[in-house]
Every structure is written in structure tokens, then in C-alpha cells.
Chains A and B, each alone.
Chain A
């Protein structure tokens, strides 16, 4: 039986092949009760495939997947009893109104909580009276989120849920993620926006090429979240490179670029104060960059250890958010 200490979601050596392509190549994923678990990875890494296996929509080639300890392929109805799902690419029935879609999706799970439904529609500033075909991507996303959050679930599976939302709506979304976890629910949040994951998630699993590359708390993964700086300054690059917290210092035209890890950010800023800075931009490194860094460590493309030092140069564009 399911207890507090058993994982809500657990996959072990999960493999899924579509013909000759391996979508998942031995994924281990554990989500404990009550946590918001970030599920990161670039496009095509296997995030959606994993969620589809957890929903019992597709059968794993090998390995095991359990939701509340239940095999979702064998017993989808039991496994879904307390699950709410928001797909990554939301499509609706063009002739149903938004309100009807919400009632339908929440109703199939047992019916919406009326107070929550009203509150969500208001907070998301959603017009439920329009036909679904007239909704933009963001509005469809809102409707799917309202349907998911308007009935309480024990597990929320969210596949890139905020990709079509504007920042204000994104804030509403985050608030509701915190609300449901406050009520004791578990959230598995697939994303490739590192900042969103940083704000919301207790633990993170990073997936690349169908297998977990990293897994741990945010603190454990802190070394991944380096800030990239680009400055124009009078100081010599060599001087900066010698200081603590400065990594990958390089010259690009008349600008200097470097990465700084979060633990030494104070020291880095102190050093910059006396560096004669005339211009500065700072951006979190993109996920792609993190992966490139991981893989360039080991040319044969094998998984790296979390402790290994990041490699040197990357091709990624500054400030890019995947």
C-alpha cells in the first residue's frame, strides 16, 4: 500500500523505443510525496514520453514505471484516480466553449470544486464563453490549467505548463502550484526554463538523451546555475581569471565574458566594483549550455558525474532561454 515514505512516482531503468529510435534509455526517476519535482531537459530528451508512460498511454519497452505504486499500463483507471494532467501541446474540441471544456475535463475526474473554479477563472482572467477554436495557445493553456487545478488531486503532472503564459499569468500558475503542494499534493513539472524550475522546485531531475543526467535538490545542483556576465571594463581579463568565482574568462571584441557560480557571486560583484566597469549584462546560462558543458567534458558523450568541473568554451548564445 501507498504510504508517506514510498515515492509517488517511481521509474526504474525505463526504456522506450519507437521503432529504431530510443526515446528513453534507462530512466530512473523518483518523486517523493509533497515535493515539486522539476523535470528538465532539452527538446526530444524524453520528458513527454516519460509523462505519457506515467499516464498509461504508452507501454514501456522495458523497465518499470509506478504511480502511487500502481503500474499505469496495467491499471490506468486506478493509477489515474488522483492525477491531474496538463499536456504540453493543448488542443481542444473547436466547437466546445472554454467553460464546457473545463467542466468536461474536471468532470471526468469527478467534478470541479466550484469555489476553486470561479477563483481560477477570475485569476487567470479567462473568458469561458468563447468557442475553443478562437483561443490562442496561452488561453488553451489557461483552460487546461484551470481544469487541472479546479479539482484537487494528489499528483499533478504538468508538461511545460507555462510555455504560452505571459509573466502575470505565470505568477498565477506558480501561486497555485504552491497552493496544491501546501495542501500536500505532489507535482511533477516538466520544463526547460531553468528560472521557473529554480523558483518552484524542491528537487530536480535533468534528463538528456532519454536518461537522467543529474538528479538532486537545487542546492546539490547549484554548480549548474552559473550566471554569465558580459562587461566592458578597463580591467585586464587575466586579472579577473585569477580571482575566486570567475570561470571561463574570455575576450569577445572589446567585451569580457565570464561565468560566475552562485556561491561566489558576492565576491565577484565586489571585484567588479573596482574593475572600471562601463557596461554590464548578466544572464543565467541556458539549459543547452549546461548540457553542452556536460557533454564536452566527455567526448564520447557519456554521462558525467555531478562533481566534475565544467568545461571551457561553449557555443551557446548569451541570455538565451530555451
Chain B
């Protein structure tokens, strides 16, 4: 036990900056959401209108969660819980993989294992650290809510709900890390499970039954398959049901226990999903160039990004008929919605527009990830071998950048194609398939600004490229998607590239915004190409 504690302290030390950033970021988001509700929607009637619209719109339900009445706390929880829970899940998943499969990949486990600790001690330490991090997260979120003026008891329960989801994914990732053969596949699988939890909850909520008298919505069964759905069922500011907390914590314990059992029974470096350890004897002609290598390194990730985007696109398209039916079967709702958006066609479009907005964020994230390969190549010493050949740094940079542009475009196209296909098949009405596909692509110019910023930071100071790239995405997301809700000044919202994308098909295409964003992206990339020649290549 002492050894486990010491290892946990060691891991905590390695993680102190990262975990502090995650926890403060998530709690800060919760605080901002709560403040926005209490200030922007101070009057009961305003909140009632907000919730009524949401309750009537499966799009809103899918993206945000379950409305639960109009108290400040309930509205805040409805607006903010799903996103904070996803972030908590990712925090827990990455934390665990970082200290388990990644350490094993890098050979650090071998060193620790050579000392007088049991085989599973490092994993137990990680589970301990993960639990601790989520307890702190729960308290931080609760503190943020209380600070924003929400009821104390409900705030603690809401914080606990976020922490419990994080804890569930600590257990899940621990198990995934035992099963998958590498840190990359383990992180990818764990993150995909977090995404699946969000989507399942979304599907359950969108199909849920609305009780218009109390402005509450009860989720349909798919939500029960999702830990985020379970967290939502706590309804901390109304029913305050602690049972889901116990379910999540119990599941986390079982998953963590299973992971420990698996770790005890397996060889160091072994995995239950076999890694493919053999490859071709010769390289294909296409690999033997800097762009060819960049493509080869990215293509697996590209496929996963596109798959995720296609699922989101299909959901966007597939919920169209649900929207139509919900409206057709409920004249009162129809009337309410009719005052807000003219015509049911427009209603379907509005939903598609909101989903495609998220696709823009996904495309930007994929582009950032593609560019950050440059950083990995440099930090892990491989760039040195590539640049010792008669090839310029500019070509190296340009090859990866081209692949990043392809990645961003392909993600948007995959989502657009899936949405268009499903909408066509379901004949839900709304805009035609061509328009929906174009609407997805309309997000590409703004999304490209993000990889462009990342590559510029890489050219200037590669150490900062990851933090600045992802940080800029977070800022762009908050300013662009939540800026209005948070009541930020328009000029500040306009700093987010996402604000300059055309919100098609609900709005018309605005070429000026697209051209401006494309021009900015090109200018940033050109500057990066110029500056990459000026700096020392980092050693490993």
C-alpha cells in the first residue's frame, strides 16, 4: 500500500500542470455557464422560453441534454452538464492511458517493475490518482456553481455527477489500456467510448418525452446505455437522486478491479487485442517522399476522424424525421415553434445547421492533430533523420500541411455526405442533399485557420504548438459557440474563426467570411514556411 501511495504521488507530480489545467478548465466552464444563466436569463419568463424551445427541439436535446424545469440550477445543469461530463471523461481516460499503456510503451514500467512493487501497483496508483483527480474536480465544479450563486446542496450533487462520469471513464480506460496493444490505440478507443457515451445520451434525450407543464423531459432508453445519461438522471437541482451516483461509482470499481485482475495475469507489454507486428518487406513507391510519409502516418487517424464525422452527420440527418414527427403530433408545440421559426422545413434545417457547426469544430480538431505530427516527429528525434537528407524544411512542413488540409476537408465532407445521404433516404424535407453537403464544406475555411495557427506556433517555438493549438480551439469553441450565451461583446465573439463560417443551410452562404478565413489560413501557413528555416531544430 505504501508503494502504491508513493507511485501515485510520483504520477501526480508528473501530472500536476496537466491535471490542474483540466480541472480548472472544466470548473471554469461550469462557472461561466452558471453565471450566464443567472445574468442573461434572470427573469423566470426568459428561462421558461429558453427551456420551452429546447424541450420542443430534439436538436437542442441531442446536443445539450434534458431540460429539468426552470430553476437557475436546473437550467445550468441542462445547458452545461453534457459538455462538462465529456471533458471529465476525456480527462480521466487520458490520465489513465498516460500512466499505464503509455508508460509500458516507453519502457518506464520496466524500471518501476524492477523495484520492490507488485505488478499491478502502478495501475492501482493510477486508479488512486484518477479517483483523487475526480474528487477534486467534483469539488471544483461544485465550488464554481456555488460561487455563481446556485444552491449549495444541488451544486455538490452536480459536481459529484461530473466527477462520477470522470471516475467511470477512469475505470473504463484502465480496462481498455490492458486490452489494447499501444497507448495510441488505447487513447483512441477510450476517447471513442466517451464520444459514444455522449451520442447515446443524445439519442436517448432527443427521443425523450417532453412534459410541457413542468418543462421537463424524460430520456428514452438509449440514454441508459450511457454513463453521461446516468449522470444526468441525478437531476441535482430538482429530484436530487443519488442512486445514479452509486451506479457510476460501482461500475467504476468493477471496471478498475477487472483491469487490476487482467494486469496481474498478463506479461509486461502483452495485450489482449493482438498488435500486428509484421509489415511489408519493401516500401511502396508512394511512401518514399516527405508528403508520402506524412500521408502514411496520418491515414489511420484520418479514417477514424472521418468515421466519427460520418456518424455525427448521419445523426444530424437521421433526426430530421424525428423533428418532423414531433411537430406533427403536437399542435401546441407546432404553434410555439411556429412563432420562433417559420415552417417545419426551416426547423429541420436549423437542426442540421447546429449539428454541422459541431462538424466544423471536429474538422478543426482533426487539422490540429495532423499538424501536431510535426511536433511529435521533432520531439521524438525522427525529424533529424528526415532533414539530414537533401530535402528542405519547407518541403517537410508543406507535406504535412497538405495532409492536414486534406484531413480537415475530408472530415467536413464525410459529415456532409452522411447527413445528405440520410436526409435523402428519410425524406425529412428541409434543404436538398447538395445544399447540406455544401453546408458542411462551408465550415472548412474557418476550420483551416486552426491548423494554420498551430503550424505557425510550431515554426516559432515547437514546444508550445500543442498547448496553443488545442487552447486556441477551446477558446474558439467557447467564443464561437457559447459567446452569445455568455453575453460576451460581439467583437470578442468575432475573434473565433467559427463565427465567420456561414451557418448553412439555415442561412445563405457568405463568400466574404469564407474568403477572409481562407486568406488568413494561407497567410499564417506562409509565415510558418518562412519562419521554420530560422530556428534550431529541437533535440530530443
B276 within 8 A of A: yes
Q: Which of A52, A85, A131 contacts B276 (CB 8 A)?
A: A131
Instruction: For the complex, give the distance between the alpha carbons of A104 and B288 in Å.
Output: 5
- B288 and A58 form a contact (CB under 8 A): no
Asked whether A130 and B283 contact (CB < 8 A) given A52-B384, A76-B387, A87-B381, the answer is no
Report the interface size class on chain A.
35 or more
A29 within 8 A of B: no
Instruction: For the complex, give the distance between the alpha carbons of A76 and B387 in Å.
Output: 9
A96 within 8 A of B: yes
Q: How far, in Å, is B283 (CB) from chain A's closest CB?
A: 4
With both beta carbons as reference points, the residue of chain B lying nearest to A97 in the complex is identified as B279
- A131 and B278 form a contact (CB under 8 A): yes
- B283 and A81 form a contact (CB under 8 A): no
With both beta carbons as reference points, the residue of chain B lying nearest to A100 in the complex is identified as B283
- A107 and B540 form a contact (CB under 8 A): no
Q: Which of B278, B382, B389, B392 contacts A97 (CB 8 A)?
A: B278
- A87 and B283 form a contact (CB under 8 A): no
Report the interface size class on chain B.
35 or more
- B537 and A129 form a contact (CB under 8 A): no
Instruction: For the complex, give the distance between the alpha carbons of A52 and B390 in Å.
Output: 15
- A87 and B384 form a contact (CB under 8 A): yes
- B288 and A107 form a contact (CB under 8 A): yes
With both beta carbons as reference points, the residue of chain A lying nearest to B281 in the complex is identified as A99
B280 within 8 A of A: yes
- B391 and A108 form a contact (CB under 8 A): yes
Q: Which of B280, B283, B539 is most buried by chain A, counting CB atoms within 10 A of its CB? A: B283
Asked whether A104 and B283 contact (CB < 8 A) given A81-B390, A85-B388, A133-B182, the answer is yes
- CB-contacts of B210-264 with A (<8 A): none
Q: How far, in Å, is A21 (CB) from chain B's closest CB?
A: 12
- CB-contacts of A247-266 with B (<8 A): none
User: Hey, what's the 0/1 contact readout for A79-122 against B, CB within 8 Å counting as 1?
Assistant: 01101010101111111111110111101111100000000000
Besides A108-B390, A108-B391, A157-B388, 17 new A-B residue pairs in contact (Cβ under 8 A), listed by A number = A52-B539, A58-B537, A59-B536, A77-B391, A80-B389, A85-B388, A87-B384, A90-B381, A97-B279, A99-B279, A100-B279, A100-B280, A100-B282, A104-B288, A107-B289, A111-B288, A131-B276
Binding site for A on B (CB under 8 A): 105, 182, 275-283, 287-290, 293, 296-297, 300, 380-382, 384-393, 536-537, 539-540
Question: What are 30 residue pairs bridging A and B, where the CB atoms are less than 8 Å apart in the complex?
Answer: A48-B539, A52-B537, A57-B384, A57-B387, A59-B536, A80-B389, A85-B388, A87-B381, A87-B385, A87-B388, A90-B381, A91-B380, A91-B381, A93-B293, A99-B281, A100-B279, A100-B280, A102-B283, A103-B283, A108-B288, A108-B290, A108-B386, A108-B389, A108-B390, A108-B391, A109-B390, A111-B288, A128-B282, A129-B279, A130-B279
